[in-house]
Structure 1
Amino acid sequence: MSKPIAVIVGVGDGLSASLARRLSPEYELHLCARGPDKMRAVAEETGAATHLIDGTDAGATAALFDGLPEAPRVAIYNPSARVHGGIAELDPVEVRRAVEITAFGAFLTAQAAARRMLAAQPDDRGIRGTILFTGASAGVKGFPRSSVFAMGKFAQRGLAESLSRELHPEGIHVAWINIDGAIRNPGRSEAADNPDSMLDPDAIAEAYAGLIAQDRSTWSHELTLRPWVEKF
């Protein structure tokens, strides 16, 4: 039997690479990014198919999901964008683009994935699929000079909560993951006097896998991950 399909939108060499490695034994992977360089190594390592798309392009996103050989069982949206600065100095064009990447792109992926999942037969657990959004603490609390990131992540979180109420009864698990801290991505490590202050991307990937495997009698619609030393 063929493997079920998992789609990861916004692939680089950090968390998304850990997600790809964690899911590759069980899923036929489809990795998506705007450029080929960041996803080339993980695609070669996992045997994944690659797709060059801009996650804010409605037509390209719909075509990607419509072109899959069958409905995906997993869809993960990772991209986000930051524009730092005081409210009086922000460039509206940059703000619009950042919110499109963080929030509108999440909507497009969710819409395209849900359309395919809703048309699919549920598995023996009564589940049609799982849609996960990579969030951040900015979706819970807005920080100074970070209003743009807060807008995007609050919108993403609201989208996930609304879709949870809409799609859970249809057998589609939707969850937003609050990554409350810095991720220990390649080339990035904690200060010597502050060990364990960053999240291990492989450990985050394991938490995503746990969400995917949850029994529907205990579905989570939101999960917060933080280092044990991170302040609440």
Structure 2
Amino acid sequence: MATSKPVFLVIGAGAGIGGHAAQRFAAGGYHAVLARRSDEEGLQRLVDAISDAGGEASGRLLDASLPDTIEELVEDVERSIGPVEVALFNLGAQIGNRSLADTTDRMFELGWRLATYAPFRLARALMPRMAERGQGTLIVTSATAAVRGNAGQHSHAAAMGGRRMLCQTLNAEFAPQGVHVAHVVIDGPVDAPDTLGKMLGEKFDAFKAHKGQDGLLDPAAVADTYWHLAHQPRSAWTHELDMRPWTDVPWWNDN
């Protein structure tokens, strides 16, 4: 369905940051395109919630690890819906806490494919189009592992560090062409049932209770920050920022 509205594309549209960002941009007048790997019913629930609130949205299933999927998604959205004004790359690449001996070649490579190669593919497919139009924003959700490598995070830290450096190179090339690149370090746990909730399982509620009020990152609040990033005046663009709950110690002080 073609739209007269600007288009917001999110790759990694779960019930946490990605889904809330889609809701925020749709409420602000965008047509939100939500892409996720699986759970078509969950995807449709997010789309329906946006429609029920008076917004425009559509959903796509996408396996970003497979060849050509991201490129075909961008081509389809630009052709059948409209030019993408803001894109959010929100896929994680966490394979769990593993020793070096337990990190297989396949696991290490999968982290790179999801965390570094996939956003590279999105940028290559989309950013030249944005540059030709003279405007656009790419927001990339990242993690503490992009700036600090902990034990057991060999794949994740290497891949997220690459994600951060990729964003810096994209910014260096495309900011002078009018395209804003923002790398966001999520330096704390997010109140997201289909990411942290799945990781913790039945311990999730107890963990939330232990963290206390506002002790987890609220994905709706993160989405508000993403909205702000996408609408900053170009005289004061933010390239990188980090977010954490008020009770958490920043990554550079956490020993």
Matched residue, 1:24 = 26
Q: d(CA) in 2 for partners of 1:144 and 1:180?
A: 17
Question: CA 1:193/1:227 → structure 2, altered by over 3 Å: closer, same or farther?
Answer: closer
Q: d(CA) in 1 for partners of 2:191 and 2:84?
A: 29
**Structure 1 stretches (4+) deviating beyond 3 angstroms?**
186-189, 192-195
1:148 to 140, 148, 155: 155
Matched residue, 2:37 = 34
Question: CA 1:176/1:193 → structure 2, altered by over 3 Å: closer, same or farther?
Answer: closer
Indicate if the aligned counterparts of 1:56 and 1:108 stay in contact, CA closer than 8 A: no
Report whether the alignment pairs 1:98 with 2:111. Answer: yes
Report whether the alignment pairs 1:168 with 2:175. Answer: yes
Q: d(CA) in 2 for partners of 1:45 and 1:195?
A: 26
Indicate if the aligned counterparts of 1:55 and 1:108 stay in contact, CA closer than 8 A: no
Report whether the alignment pairs 1:181 with 2:183. Answer: no
Report whether the alignment pairs 1:118 with 2:125. Answer: no
- RMSD over equivalenced CA pairs, Å: 1.6
% of aligned pairs identical? 29
| Structure 2 counterparts to residues 8-87 of structure 1, below 5 A | 8-25=10-27, 26-35=29-38, 36-47=40-51, 48-67=57-76, 68-69=78-79, 70-83=82-95, 84-87=97-100
Deviation at residue 153 of structure 1 after TM alignment: 0.9
Matched residue, 2:253 = none
- For residues 134-192 of structure 1, what are the alpha-carbon distances to aligned partners after superposition, in whole Å with 9 as ceiling and x for unaligned? 00111010111111110111011111111111111000000100000000123545224
Report whether the alignment pairs 1:226 with 2:244. Answer: yes
Q: d(CA) in 2 for partners of 1:177 and 1:193?
A: 22
Deviates more, 1:108-117 or 1:3-12: 108-117
Instruction: Give the TM-score of the pair, scaled to structure 2.
Output: 0.84
Deviation at residue 111 of structure 1 after TM alignment: 1.5
Q: Which has the higher helix share?
A: 2
Q: d(CA) in 2 for partners of 1:224 and 1:46?
A: 27
Matched residue, 1:198 = 216
State the secondary structure of the residue aligned to 2:68.
Answer: helix
Indicate if the aligned counterparts of 1:66 and 1:116 stay in contact, CA closer than 8 A: no
Q: d(CA) in 2 for partners of 1:57 and 1:159?
A: 20
Indicate if the aligned counterparts of 1:11 and 1:38 stay in contact, CA closer than 8 A: no
Deviation at residue 58 of structure 1 after TM alignment: 4.1
- The unaligned stretches of length 5 or more in structure 1 are 123-127
- For residues 59-80 of structure 1, what are the alpha-carbon distances to aligned partners after superposition, in whole Å with 9 as ceiling and x for unaligned? 1211211222332100110112
Q: d(CA) in 1 for partners of 2:15 and 2:211?
A: 26
- For residues 173-224 of structure 1, what are the alpha-carbon distances to aligned partners after superposition, in whole Å with 9 as ceiling and x for unaligned? 0010000000012354522464332111110000000100100000011011
Deviation at residue 118 of structure 1 after TM alignment: 2.1
State the secondary structure of the residue aligned to 1:24.
Answer: helix
